[in-house]
Structure 1
Amino acid sequence: MSKEKTVLIANRYKPRDRSDRGGMGEVVFCDDLHLQRQVVLKHLQAGVGAQRLLDEQKALSKVRSKHVVQLYDIVNISVGGVQQPAIVLEFIDGETLNVGSFSADANYLKVIWQISCGLTDIHSHGIIHRDIKPGNIKIDGEGVVKILDFGLSRNSANAETMSIIGTPLFMAHELWGNNKITFDSSVDVYAFGVTCLALLTNEVPLSLLSRPPSQPSRKALSALFAGVHSEITDILHQCLAADSNDRPAMRAIQALLAKHLLKDRHRATVVLNGSANTLDCKNRRISLNATVGSLTIEYDGLDFKVIQVAGAVYINNTSVAVRTVVPGCCVFTFGNDGARKFVTFDVSNPEVMP
């Protein structure tokens, strides 16, 4: 007797002998026979509102990011004889991030930078993920981090809820209200801060376990982030602020982490009187003398800073002072009125790689 023929889904997806079930949904691993690739088909369990899957569809259909799981297709399947929608997602051959599995090193910074990239892309499309945590993040075989599970996501224009929902440790202060709760993308920033901490240790400050949580002290966080640059600890501490207005934007976090990952790899070109000079880790200091004013800039591996200035010197028409951080692309002006001289300053932008 011949074996029973496998029934294809949407005349295209062949189920494998593997599936996983979560709190609200079930995923079935399939082969896409058209494009010869493995995919994940996700549908909701009986009794779970269809709005959950609809929210995930809407979110994923907007976002195109290297660090966000991709939506490939929407199909109908039969579950218990009832037709219901299912989404077909990118299959990520990798490991879910685990609590306490990282050390404060360059690899850790690359991982949290990639998470920040994914969240920056998500927020740029007006989407709030609302369930950022290690269990919803994977890292594939090539070291690329992917954010998953948009079942609780909301559009920024419709970000409110009548119930407390989410993963308690990662829920921001404002999500613990008793009545209608309004929120914005800063709830993801808070969850990102807790995730960064959770990847290093499972011993979180008690203030984060209270309901609602309160911001731990900077000193307490310093001990847990031992080995992380103080500038990074500062911004992660801001992520945990009880007031959402005090939390930084994900784009600012992304930029700061990138700066540290690129330590000693920046290069600036300084042009005075038609002569170009390079400022980098091999040539860390340059002095510019334009007769009507002088300036010395030093590269400390992270920033280009003014360490000496004399006379009338301006950056993009703003007066220069010692300790000023020079922006990536600008013009220095030496002197006033007809005696002015100009210097261009341009920093290359090397790419941070996973």
Structure 2
Amino acid sequence: MNPSMFAKLDELFHQAMDLKPGERGAFLDAACGRNAEFRRFLEGLLANAGRPHDVFENSPTGVSPTSELSADEDMEVLVGQVLGKELEGSGERGYQIVRLLGRGGMGLVYLARQRNPERDVALKVIRPELATPTWVRRLRHEAQVLAILNHPGIAHFYEMGAENGPIKRHFYAMEYVDGLPFTGYATAHNLTCNARLELMGRVCEALQHAHDHGVIHRDLKPGNIIVDTTGQPKILDFGIARLTNTSIQATTMHTAPGQIFGTLQYMSPEQASGETASADVRSDVYALGVILFELLCGKLPHELREKQNWEAARIIREEEPTRLGSVDRSLRGDVETIVSKALERDPARRYWSAREMGEDIRRYLHHQPITARPPSTWYEVRKFASRNKTVVGFLAAILVIMASGLIWSLVLLARVKDRNARATKLAETFSDVLTFADPSQNPDTFTALEWLNAYSRQLDESFPDDIEVRARIGLKIGRGYIGIGEYVTGVTRMEEAYNAYMNAREYGPRHRDTLDALIRLANAKNFAEERIEALDAAALALSLGRQRGDAWDDPLSIRALSEMSRSLSRIEEWQKDALSMTLTAMRLAESNPDMDPDAKLDVMVNTVRVLTACHQTQDFNDLHDRLLSALTKRRPNDPINPNHSIHPRLAAEVYEFACVLVGQSEYDLAEPWLTVVMEYRLARFGEDHPEYLITLLSMGILRETQGRLELAQDRGHNARRRFFEAEELFRRYAAGTSNKWPGRPDKLAQPLCTLTRIGLRLGTVSLEDVQEVLDSTRDHLVDSNEKRANWLVTDGLCRLRSGHTLDAWRELDAAARILENANGADAIATKRTVQLRDQVRLLIEDFAVEPR
């Protein structure tokens, strides 16, 4: 193409950009006529209109690798014209071209040697035949942006110019960054999670410098952040940056309303909506959230592969991003909270600046409480309600029917169809594994895990294409994993089973077996404490069942109601409704003669859980007796502790109830229940089993708390007795944990820390021993608020005994704030966090009092 044709192309391009996408086809027909090559070129420009950064991208200087050049003969000719030569008209600062670093759609980037001062630089050059006013203006715009900024985390700008020779090349010189793209650097150097966070913290600092100077990047992505050979990340490619400083506003690159600029995968919802005026610094913060998500788990928060641009933009605008902890459970807690806050769809709920995000990252790395709070469960339920208006209507209908007494007059539906014979044999074999995987029947969790893994492999190898068998047996395997506490694997298997039912031709979304799988999936997600996901699944099952005509007292409807009540019981604002719902489900189950007895028991056990979560202690006692009687009649051969009348099926619920009583400071009421469970689990499983060890730990916490209360009431002798009992319990816990998980210091860190704290009170350990424990456990107690606070409390006591009162106060106060923040983020704090929070409060009030 000659220069006049390129000028015409530039003119038509801007005319087409002013049209709606649906109107461009007719315009191109009229403008291009039969010139297919011209139309193809123009369509290519329009397809990349939202990505002007493509001029120079994807290399250490923001361009494509040179390996892409071989297919472009015209480009090779252009490269050959300048390699080894000096840019004409560049004066005494002359630039000697060394090699081509890469190219984009309309530009080139060279590695060049500058004459004065002598240094390597990156030269960004617009192809001469494409040097239209629009692209020259964009090059000048990026150069001006870089000239404003001066930070080690941003590539430095040197100068801009143009050759005065026969071929006029517009260019600017900038710092040559020799390194790797952001995520690629982390992978190549196998960085730890903390090292990746530290790297992101430095990017936040650099970006904040840009924001402080009125520059919004608008196209942050891993390819535009290069980490050099010293480990310094540098932000590149400010080609579509927006300038907010009024003194330089006139040079800002403006965009038409509705025009989308940037890279979709890393784009904020407001950018994806084409709302360029509302895209402020928080849009860059959103992009940082996407990059950090990818940096930590290797995936993007939205699945956009093979999606058309319009569909990808809709997903970003309307759908919630994946939670980091659902991809990698080890990242749950503060790290997930930081990423989630950056990825809020509503800009008002995001970090207000890159500095704020970077400061939270630094707080986490220094074991300090972060300022971001997880979204409250009530907020998530409101979002659930907005997504499921029909289901929320069903909830209202439930309460109306309950009030009117009409629920007892509803009609029963047909029973479940006979099972398919192809899966019968494997299912019968697998029933033994389900029993084997039940902790109440088999104490050897690890052997059960081996069996489950073996059956999973057998299922995958024997029935790779049999959707129905994979659905039925996969569901059972998932239940087995849930039974031994392998929640992530269990949920995954059950999701696969549910999806298999959905995809089977003879089943589909409204088939009873599909709905049964969906309710079981909700149950599994409740066990995994994925409350909103569980609520979604149970509500969907109820909705689909009602659409197919199921009555309220249909067994599937009852079970769905029961699982929904369990999810809602953990949300303070919905606990009243959860109680009504669970009691209704239980009454419906008890009055339905056609409901499977085991399913009825499941509903009753769920009711126990809901009562426990809602702290309905009196109702719990009554229901426990009824449930114990029902279990004994249903399974007369199940072992029951003869001294304490505890049933294996109820051990977990009784333990939860005891923990609730501890959380309510009802220590005397909690002690007999906790003792019952501890003795049962010791006799049933042995002293090294996790079920017994966790009960032992809770009893140790209870004894320590009782000792502290005795101390506060000036009963020093009783206090010392309680502390000695607690110390013995923690020693037994540490010994059992060491035997069960040899070589796992992370498992021992928390009990050792607590044991040391008690020994410090009793004078049974030296300050040197305490400091040694603190040093060895510091790095193993950062994955939860409770563990970090526990460490801080022990460190505070050590400083107190050493006479460093002010430092002690700081540590104890930091622990208290961590726990207060944790409680504020979720209406129902975990039981042990509540216990530890109360301990910290009393320590801060009476820290100088010692047992006597």
TM-score by length of 1: 0.69
1:253 and 2:357 are equivalent in the alignment: yes
Query: After superposition, where does 1:216-255 map in structure 2 within 5 Å?
Result: 220-228=323-331, 230-248=333-351, 249-255=353-359
Q: Which moved more, 1:232-241 or 1:165-174?
A: 232-241
d(CA) in 1 for partners of 2:815, 2:237: 42
Following superposition, the deviation at residue 224 of structure 1 comes to 3.0
Query: After superposition, where does 1:12-161 map in structure 2 within 5 Å?
Result: 12=93, 13-45=95-127, 46=130, 47=132, 49-77=135-163, 81-84=167-170, 86-98=171-183, 101=187, 105-157=193-245, 161=255
Q: Which has the higher contact order (CA 8 A, sep 6+)?
A: 1
Distance 1:178 1:255, change over 3 A: closer
Following superposition, the deviation at residue 197 of structure 1 comes to 1.6
Following superposition, the deviation at residue 42 of structure 1 comes to 1.0
Q: Which moved more, 1:171-180 or 1:189-198?
A: 171-180
d(CA) in 1 for partners of 2:367, 2:176: 34
Q: Which moved more, 1:154-163 or 1:249-258?
A: 154-163
Distance 1:178 1:223, change over 3 A: closer
d(CA) in 2 for partners of 1:5, 1:245: 53
Choose between structure 1 and 2: higher strand proportion.
1
Partner of 1:299: 811
1:284 and 2:363 are equivalent in the alignment: no
Distance 1:94 1:124, change over 3 A: same
Alignment check: 8 A CA contact 2:92 2:116 kept: no
Q: Which moved more, 1:90-99 or 1:245-254?
A: 90-99
d(CA) in 1 for partners of 2:362, 2:163: 43
- 1:171-226 per-position Cα deviation (integer Å, ceiling 9, x unaligned): 11111335764421111111111111222445334467742315876873213354
1:211 and 2:313 are equivalent in the alignment: yes
- 1:135-189 per-position Cα deviation (integer Å, ceiling 9, x unaligned): 1111111111111111111112558631112111111111133576442111111
Distance 1:217 1:166, change over 3 A: closer
d(CA) in 2 for partners of 1:218, 1:19: 35
Following superposition, the deviation at residue 134 of structure 1 comes to 0.4
Matched residue pairs, number?
284
Partner of 2:292: 196
- 1:26-68 per-position Cα deviation (integer Å, ceiling 9, x unaligned): 1111112222221111123315622211221221111111111
Partner of 1:274: none
Distance 1:14 1:245, change over 3 A: same
Distance 1:178 1:41, change over 3 A: closer
| Long gaps (5+) in structure 2 | 1-82, 369-770, 776-793, 818-835, 838-852
Alignment check: 8 A CA contact 2:301 2:321 kept: no
Distance 1:144 1:225, change over 3 A: farther
Distance 1:31 1:236, change over 3 A: same
Q: Any idea what SS the aligned residue of 2:117 has?
A: coil
Distance 1:295 1:105, change over 3 A: closer
- 1:89-132 per-position Cα deviation (integer Å, ceiling 9, x unaligned): 11112112246836652221122112111111111111001110
Q: Any idea what SS the aligned residue of 1:299 has?
A: helix
Structure with greater Cα Rg? 2
Distance 1:145 1:305, change over 3 A: same
Following superposition, the deviation at residue 24 of structure 1 comes to 4.0
Alignment check: 8 A CA contact 1:295 1:306 kept: no
TM-score by length of 2: 0.30
What is the aligned-residue identity percentage? 25
Q: Which moved more, 1:51-60 or 1:205-214?
A: 205-214
Distance 1:243 1:14, change over 3 A: same
After superposing on structure 2, the runs of 4+ consecutive aligned residues of structure 1 that deviate more than 6 Å are 280-283
Partner of 1:10: 91
Choose between structure 1 and 2: higher helix proportion.
2
Distance 1:140 1:73, change over 3 A: same
Following superposition, the deviation at residue 69 of structure 1 comes to 0.5
Q: Any idea what SS the aligned residue of 2:313 has?
A: coil
Q: Kindly report the root-mean-square deviation, in angstroms, between the aligned alpha carbons of the 2 structures.
A: 3.5
Partner of 1:350: none
